[in-house]
Amino acid sequence: MTGPLPRRFYFVAASAGFAFANMAISVPLHVVETGGKAGVAGSVLAVATASVALGALLAGRLGRRRRSLLTIAAGVIGGGALMLATAAGVPLLAAGSCVVGLGIGVFWVASQLVLSRRAGRPEGARDFLLHYAVYTVGAVAGAGATGALASGAGALGVGALTGIRVASLLAVSGSILAVLAWRRSLAERVEPAALPAPEGPPERQLKLQVPDLLLVAALALLLPLAPVVLAREFGLAPLSIGLVMGGVSLAKIAGTFVARLITRGSGPRRTILLLLGAGASFCVLLAMAITLSVFVAALFATALAGTGAWPLVVDAAQARVEPASRRALTVHWNAREYVLIAAATAVAGWLITALGTPVPVFVLAALLFFGAATTAAAQLRRPVWRPVVSG
């Protein structure tokens, strides 16, 4: 398909982002409201993150026989959100979170299978950027709606837990609409009818993903534990921390649009290297920041540069393999990413606890950004895949 992707493709992305953010916010709020410990919430979220990787691997098997992976993803996400809405204790809360995570893993594989068919074309990078922007907008809406409904329900005297459940039901509604939208016949023509069997060697796939893994690890070191740094190092109150993290999400959205603007004038290769190099510089600034204003500005800039570069890095890798190998690349790609995110987040927490300062984490993130730029520069010298035309 050479025309623009249908709007319902992006609607599925927005609904998935809403549901995942709702899960990420509702779990700790639910645990707090029911008198649980913070460690319980952390454990549930960690398992949910790991389940995203499992969902990506599951998508690889489902994709051999089923056409509508995006429909399956939206349905699984909606089922998990419904479990969250009805959860009365930690076991069902954890189960619902894991089901949402499984659905998100299937969603990312299914989405990238659609996007990978356009990799290497001018519209390919644009579609990757727009897709991630819409997903992030959905995530911002999901986090905001969950927090607002919990606060509003508490203020009205019906209990914050009621507001949390209503927010999860909104996620269920969005998933149902996404299922109905993507089942249309045009959507079936956009999504690959059958995934080809040939696959590239695993070691080649891993080599292609090195820039992405370094970038994802850098962001995982910085962003998940940013609230802890803001609280301990700068003494911010919870409301202020929430505002800053909301600004980080907006910076992610801005990053996709900034990347699109730069790409139009300089091309994807220069844009990737520029954003990754900028990310390394901003991490150094984070390590040197002694005032809150400088730290927050550097945090926003790092989120903007990193998330602006990420879709372009994915598109560049997809463009350098033959279409028959992109299925396996997409499946393993997403599984590795989320395993690494969980591991990098744990390492960041351990380093901050053991060393008593986040500075080494920021320095390590800068090195990872620099490594991503270096390996991306080497990868981008490889030619984009083109079909062989016989004489």
Domain of residue 332: give its range.
199-383
* Percentages (nearest 5) of helix, strand, coil residues in the chain: 85, 0, 15
Question: DSSP secondary structure string, 21-56?
Answer: HHHHHHHHHHHHHTT--HHHHHHHHHHHHHHHHHHH
Do 191 and 204 reside in the same domain of the chain? no
Integer Cα distance of 363 and 173 in angstroms:
43
Do 208 and 301 reside in the same domain of the chain? yes
Does pTM surpass 0.85?
A: no
* Nearest alpha carbon to residue 306 among 280, 336, 342: 280
Write down which residue in 151, 166, 195 finishes a domain.
195
What single-letter DSSP state applies at residue 325?
G
Write down which residue in 179, 195, 211 finishes a domain.
195
Q: Which amino acid is at 247?
A: G
| 252 neighbors 275 (Cβ within 8 angstroms) | no
Q: What pLDDT does 384 receive? A: 74
Reduced to 3 states, what is the DSSP secondary structure of residue 92?
helix
Count of C-beta atoms within a 10 Å radius of residue 197: 9
**How far, rounded to the nearest angstrom, does the alpha carbon of residue 16 sit from its chain's CA centroid?**
10
Do 290 and 324 reside in the same domain of the chain? yes
Do 261 and 313 reside in the same domain of the chain? yes
Integer Cα distance of 307 and 219 in angstroms:
9
89-117 per-position pLDDT tens digit: 888 988 999 999 999 999 988 888 888 77
Burial 95-123 (b: 16+ CB within 10 A, else e): bbbbbbbbbbbbbbbbbbbbbbbbbbeee
Q: Is 388 contained in some domain?
A: no
Do 351 and 205 reside in the same domain of the chain? yes
Write down which residue in 164, 195, 226 finishes a domain.
195
* Average pLDDT, 10 consecutive residues per value, the chain (391 residues): 74 93 82 69 76 85 66 94 90 92 91 75 73 88 84 82 90 93 58 45 68 93 81 75 80 89 86 95 92 93 93 82 69 80 81 86 95 91 65 45
Do 205 and 302 reside in the same domain of the chain? yes
| 138 neighbors 17 (Cβ within 8 angstroms) | yes
Q: What pLDDT does 37 receive? A: 66
Do 46 and 142 reside in the same domain of the chain? yes
Task: Give how far Cα 109 sits from Cα of 3, 68, 146, 285, 369, Å.
Answer: 21, 12, 26, 35, 24
120-139 per-position pLDDT tens digit: 666 667 787 888 889 989 98
Question: DSSP secondary structure string, 275-289?
Answer: HHHHHHHHHHHHHH-
Do 179 and 208 reside in the same domain of the chain? no
Q: Is 298 contained in some domain?
A: yes
Q: How many domains does the chain have?
A: 2
Do 240 and 221 reside in the same domain of the chain? yes
Which residue has 């920041």 as its token pair?
A: 289
Do 123 and 219 reside in the same domain of the chain? no
Task: Give how far Cα 126 sits from Cα of 9, 257, 260, 264, Å.
Answer: 14, 9, 6, 9
Integer Cα distance of 220 and 370 in angstroms:
15
Which residue has 């709606």 as its token pair?
A: 145
| 170 neighbors 18 (Cβ within 8 angstroms) | yes
Integer Cα distance of 238 and 252 in angstroms:
21
Q: What pLDDT does 319 receive? A: 77
Q: Is 390 contained in some domain?
A: no
Q: What pLDDT does 235 receive? A: 84
| 362 neighbors 286 (Cβ within 8 angstroms) | yes
Do 182 and 208 reside in the same domain of the chain? no
CATH number at residue 210: 1.20.1250.20
Integer Cα distance of 144 and 167 in angstroms:
10
Tally of residues, the chain? 391
Do 243 and 344 reside in the same domain of the chain? yes
